[in-house]
Structure 1
Amino acid sequence: MIFTVNGAAKTFDIQHLIIAGWTARDMASVQEHIDELAEIGVAPPSTVPLFYRASNLLVTQASQVEVLSADTSGEVEPLIIKADGKLYLGIGSDHTDRKLEAYSVAHSKQVSAKPVSTELWDFSEVADHLDDLTIESWVDEGEGWVQYQKGSLANIRPLTELIEKGNLLDGSAMLCGTCPAIGGVRRTEKFKMSIHDPILNRTISCEYLSKELPIVS
């Protein structure tokens, strides 16, 4: 995959995909997310955080993805990529089948593409102010963009901790957790997300469409 890093194109070979779940720093927030998903039938995790494995083929920069269910939705997450011993930070969506999630979170992670940004930051440039970074997402339910998520990385376990516990190898991409959905988890075709660095005054943005395929039997 080709990403832009500091204005230059760089090729990354994504061999492993890890999805870190239940990563809120405040355990009350973890419980809030557990309760949020319990409303749609998702069983609580065995431990927190958890590091789910999924196919590297799910990582995509496509502006449109196809899903098999009317029960999928996106969620904004920091994206860490490790390559040649270096770390990079971007943004991605852990697009998930919520109905399947009620059966198995691990299985639900495997059935939807994971759209990611085309731009990355050198992790070393943000390592000293990670808690100042913010992530946001918006959905369009037919009347224009409305805020769907908003949070600070200060609300997520330190990314350095997740990197260590997730055992990132070269060629790994990891989605690092999210923040609660404003108004509850729900399906929309249009999804937009960003990560903002107020210290260096820059933003990475990404948006995509998820189109439903017909279900035949």
Structure 2
Amino acid sequence: MQMNFIVGGTALNAELSHLVIAGWTGRDPEAISHHIEELAALGVEPPSATPLYYRVSASLLTLAPHVEVVGSSSSGEVEPMIVQLGDRRFLGLGSDHTDRALEAHSVALSKQVCAKPCAAELWAWDEVADHLEQIALESWIEENGEWVPYQQGTLASIRPLVELIAGAGLDRLAADGAAAMMCGTFGAKGGVRPASRFRMRMTDTLRGREIAHEYAVTTLPEVA
């Protein structure tokens, strides 16, 4: 899967071979319990362990500003994203868009059926590694024609990214083509719910910069 990223204003073309979705990655046990309860309200069974690493098709990762989903049960989740090319590592921004109805049947399958939108811009790992926990992520959804705050937090709320990288075996995967991983998210304000548009932002206050991305969702009919 060819991905055309941008690092420091320079194009970075990567042939993506592997995509991992890390789930249940909260550092605070109470926050994990809250997210489990949040999804349990949608009928999702609790995880067998935390964290878990779901392998999905690399072709799901997309830079497109528009995705199509079947039915009205999917929603986005803002997440830090690791991209690894050989021994080069980058931090980016993505959305683990997931079918919530299917999630109640199988989380693994629900991760596979929706595109995973991401921003084109990446930050070099050595530029953020010493202050990762200060990096903030936010998301908004469009409801009734207005943008509504949906998620907010810092990477301090997520397990250390180096721990997730090791747990997923990302270095090993990257030896066989570029690899990417979504690294988990925060609870949703007002509960998990679908929206026609999703906006997300990652802010590095130490370096005075941000990465942002927005995408629209088209709902295709669910035909039985």
Q: CA deviation at 1:146?
A: 1.2
Match of 1:57 among 52, 56, 59: 59
**Deviation at residue 69 of structure 1 after TM alignment:** 1.5
Amino acid aligned to 1:134: A
Q: What is the match of residue 164 of structure 1? A: 166
1:212 aligns with 2:219: yes
How far off is 1:215 after superposition? 2.4
1:154 aligned to 2:156? yes
CA distance in structure 2 between the aligned counterparts of 1:110 and 1:210, rounded to whole angstroms: 17
Deviation at 1:216, TM superposition (A): 2.5
- Superposed displacement of residue 214, structure 1: 1.8
Give the drift of 1:13: 1.1
Q: Which runs of 4+ in 1 moved over 2 A?
A: none
Equivalent in 167, 179, 187 of residue 186 of structure 2: 179
Structure 2 equivalent of residue 87 of structure 1: 89
Cα distance in 2 for residues equivalent to 1:162 and 1:212: 33
- Cα deviation, 1:108-133, whole Å, max 9, x if unaligned, reads 00000000101000011000000000
* Aligned-CA RMSD value: 0.7
Q: What is the distance in 1 between the residues matched to 2:71 and 2:32?
A: 26
| Deviation for aligned residue 1:84 | 2.4
**Which of 4, 7, 14 is the matching residue for 2:6?**
4
Higher mean displacement: 42-51 or 140-149: 140-149
Q: Does 1:105 align with 2:85?
A: no
**Aligned amino acid, residue 213 of structure 1:** L
Equivalent-residue separation in structure 1 for 2:72 and 2:143 (angstroms): 14
Q: Secondary structure at the match of 1:16?
A: strand
| Per-residue deviation, residues 171-209 of structure 1 (Å, max 9, x unmatched) | 111000000000000010100001100100100000001
- Deviation, structure 1 residue 74: 0.3
Normalised TM-score (structure 1)? 0.99
Instruction: Look up the match of 1:122.
Output: 124
Q: Aligned AA for 1:118?
A: A
Match of 1:200 among 203, 207, 210: 207
Q: Distance in 2 between matches of 1:70 and 1:108?
A: 14
Identify unmatched segments of 5+ residues in structure 2: none
How many residues end up aligned between the 2 structures?
217
The 2-side partners of 1:14 and 1:123 are apart by 18
TM-score w.r.t. length of structure 2: 0.95
What is the SS of the residue equivalent to 2:162? helix
C-alpha deviations, 1:13-45, integer Å up to 9, x for none? 110010000000011111110000000000000
SS at match of 1:157: coil
Greater shift in the superposed pair: 140-149 or 106-115: 140-149
Q: Which residue of 1 aligns with 2:144?
A: 142
Residue by residue over 1:52-79, the C-alpha shift from the partner in whole angstroms, topping out at 9 and shown as x without a partner, is 0100010000111100020000010000
Which residue matches 1:133? 135
